[in-house]
Protein backbone atom coordinates (compact mmCIF):
# COMPACT_ATOMS: atom_id res chain seq x y z
CA UNK A 1 0.00 0.00 0.00
CA UNK A 2 2.99 2.29 0.33
CA UNK A 3 3.12 4.85 -2.46
CA UNK A 4 -0.51 4.39 -3.46
CA UNK A 5 -2.25 7.64 -4.20
CA UNK A 6 -5.93 8.29 -4.28
CA UNK A 7 -6.83 10.15 -7.45
CA UNK A 8 -10.20 11.54 -8.37
CA UNK A 9 -11.41 9.87 -11.55
CA UNK A 10 -14.02 11.78 -13.50
CA UNK A 11 -16.00 10.15 -16.29
CA UNK A 12 -14.61 10.78 -19.76
CA UNK A 13 -17.66 12.85 -20.77
CA UNK A 14 -17.17 15.17 -17.76
CA UNK A 15 -14.68 17.69 -19.10
CA UNK A 16 -14.18 20.60 -16.72
CA UNK A 17 -13.01 22.97 -19.47
CA UNK A 18 -16.15 22.23 -21.50
CA UNK A 19 -18.27 22.72 -18.41
CA UNK A 20 -16.66 26.08 -17.59
CA UNK A 21 -17.06 27.22 -21.21
CA UNK A 22 -20.67 26.14 -21.29
CA UNK A 23 -21.31 27.91 -17.98
CA UNK A 24 -19.90 31.13 -19.45
CA UNK A 25 -22.10 30.77 -22.53
CA UNK A 26 -25.17 30.17 -20.37
CA UNK A 27 -24.33 33.23 -18.26
CA UNK A 28 -23.98 35.40 -21.38
CA UNK A 29 -27.24 34.17 -22.89
CA UNK A 30 -29.16 34.69 -19.64
CA UNK A 31 -27.69 38.19 -19.24
CA UNK A 32 -28.84 39.02 -22.75
CA UNK A 33 -32.44 37.78 -22.34
CA UNK A 34 -33.14 38.50 -18.67
CA UNK A 35 -34.72 41.95 -19.14
CA UNK A 36 -38.39 40.93 -19.53
CA UNK A 37 -38.13 37.86 -17.25
CA UNK A 38 -39.39 38.28 -13.66
CA UNK A 39 -36.57 37.72 -11.17
CA UNK A 40 -38.40 34.87 -9.41
CA UNK A 41 -38.28 32.86 -12.67
CA UNK A 42 -34.68 33.70 -13.58
CA UNK A 43 -33.20 30.63 -11.86
CA UNK A 44 -35.53 28.31 -13.78
CA UNK A 45 -34.79 30.09 -17.05
CA UNK A 46 -31.07 29.65 -16.35
CA UNK A 47 -31.57 25.91 -15.85
CA UNK A 48 -33.57 25.68 -19.06
CA UNK A 49 -30.94 27.63 -21.01
CA UNK A 50 -28.22 25.37 -19.55
CA UNK A 51 -30.03 22.24 -20.67
CA UNK A 52 -30.73 23.69 -24.14
CA UNK A 53 -27.10 24.74 -24.62
CA UNK A 54 -25.94 21.30 -23.49
CA UNK A 55 -28.39 19.62 -25.85
CA UNK A 56 -27.27 21.81 -28.76
CA UNK A 57 -23.62 21.05 -27.97
CA UNK A 58 -24.34 17.30 -27.86
CA UNK A 59 -26.23 17.52 -31.15
CA UNK A 60 -23.32 19.30 -32.83
CA UNK A 61 -20.86 16.65 -31.63
CA UNK A 62 -22.50 14.13 -33.98
CA UNK A 63 -22.43 11.35 -31.37
CA UNK A 64 -25.42 9.50 -29.96
CA UNK A 65 -27.07 11.68 -27.33
CA UNK A 66 -27.24 10.37 -23.77
CA UNK A 67 -30.05 12.54 -22.40
CA UNK A 68 -29.21 11.90 -18.74
CA UNK A 69 -25.65 13.20 -19.28
CA UNK A 70 -26.89 16.11 -21.37
CA UNK A 71 -29.41 17.20 -18.73
CA UNK A 72 -26.89 16.76 -15.91
CA UNK A 73 -24.23 18.70 -17.79
CA UNK A 74 -26.74 21.45 -18.57
CA UNK A 75 -27.78 21.76 -14.95
CA UNK A 76 -24.13 21.94 -13.85
CA UNK A 77 -23.47 24.60 -16.50
CA UNK A 78 -26.44 26.61 -15.18
CA UNK A 79 -25.15 26.31 -11.62
CA UNK A 80 -21.72 27.50 -12.76
CA UNK A 81 -23.33 30.39 -14.64
CA UNK A 82 -25.35 31.41 -11.58
CA UNK A 83 -22.37 31.06 -9.26
CA UNK A 84 -20.11 32.88 -11.69
CA UNK A 85 -22.54 35.77 -11.94
CA UNK A 86 -22.85 36.00 -8.15
CA UNK A 87 -19.06 35.89 -7.88
CA UNK A 88 -18.33 38.52 -10.54
CA UNK A 89 -21.22 40.96 -10.00
CA UNK A 90 -20.80 43.76 -7.54
CA UNK A 91 -24.45 43.77 -6.48
CA UNK A 92 -24.67 42.44 -2.94
CA UNK A 93 -20.97 41.93 -2.26
CA UNK A 94 -17.65 43.40 -3.39
CA UNK A 95 -16.36 42.20 -6.78
CA UNK A 96 -14.70 38.76 -6.79
CA UNK A 97 -16.23 37.70 -3.48
CA UNK A 98 -19.27 35.62 -2.70
CA UNK A 99 -22.02 37.33 -0.70
CA UNK A 100 -22.42 36.35 2.93
CA UNK A 101 -25.65 34.86 4.26
CA UNK A 102 -26.43 38.21 5.93
CA UNK A 103 -26.00 40.07 2.65
CA UNK A 104 -28.23 37.57 0.85
CA UNK A 105 -30.96 37.94 3.47
CA UNK A 106 -30.95 41.75 3.35
CA UNK A 107 -28.81 42.58 6.38
CA UNK A 108 -29.08 41.86 10.09
CA UNK A 109 -32.55 41.59 11.54
Model confidence at 95, pLDDT cuts 50, 70, 90, reads very low
| Domain-wise residue ranges, the chain | 38-96
d(CA 86, CA 81): 9
**Alpha-carbon distances, residue 71 vs 19, 33, 54, 58, 59 (angstroms):** 12, 21, 7, 10, 13
Over residues 83-94, the mean pLDDT reads 66
Tell me the whole-structure pTM to 2 decimals: 0.69
**Taking a C-beta distance cutoff of 8 angstroms, is the pair 34, 42 a contact?**
yes
Instruction: State the pLDDT at residue 75.
Output: 92
Q: Tell me the pLDDT tens digit for each residue of 32-71.
A: 888 888 888 888 899 999 999 999 988 998 888 889 989 9
pLDDT per residue as tens digits for the range 2-28 = 556 667 676 666 778 888 899 999 988
Using CA atoms, how far apart are residues 53 and 1, in angstroms rounded to an integer? Answer: 44
Amino acid sequence: MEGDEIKMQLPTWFNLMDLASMGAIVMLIVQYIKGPIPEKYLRYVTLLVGILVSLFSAYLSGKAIDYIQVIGFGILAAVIADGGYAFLSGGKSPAFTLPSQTQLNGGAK
